Amino acid sequence: MGGQPGFWDLDERYERLSAAGDPLEKFSAIIPWTVFEKPLAKALKRSDGSKGGRPPYPAVLMFKILVLQALYNTNRH
């Protein structure tokens, strides 16, 4: 199948990224992200979900995205 990734190609790509020094792995090793869970939950005050709808993304994940945007300036217009 020309050009289509195989079943194990993603794992191999992750292994190559790790070997090359993946910056996301370095961030995870340095920054204790779980410390931010309670302050973010308190600041966001999300609903309990009783009215239905799609569940929100985890607050720590969104915080990580904001940190990466600030560091790498990916929020260009």
The model's pLDDT over 16-49, given as tens digits with 9 standing for 90+, comes to 889 998 888 998 999 999 999 999 988 987 777 7
- Asked, for residue 6, whether it belongs to a domain, the answer is no
CB 55 within 8 A of CB 49: yes
pLDDT at 51 over 90: no
d(CA 74, CA 22): 18
- Asked, for residue 65, whether it belongs to a domain, the answer is yes
Give residue-wise pLDDT tens across range 39-48.
Answer: 998 898 777 7
Token look-up 């996301």 returns 24
- Asked, for residue 40, whether it belongs to a domain, the answer is yes
Full-model pTM: 0.68
Q: What is the span of the domain harbouring residue 30?
A: 23-72
- Asked, for residue 58, whether it belongs to a domain, the answer is yes
| Domain count along the chain | 1
Q: What count of other Cβ atoms lies within 10 Å of the Cβ of residue 59?
A: 18
- Asked, for residue 44, whether it belongs to a domain, the answer is yes
Percent of the chain with pLDDT over 70: 91
Confidence tier at 74 by pLDDT (50, 70, 90) = low
Q: What is the 3-state secondary structure (H, E, C) of 6-33?
A: CCCHHHHHHHHHHHHCCHHHHHHHHCCH
Q: What count of other Cβ atoms lies within 10 Å of the Cβ of residue 17?
A: 13
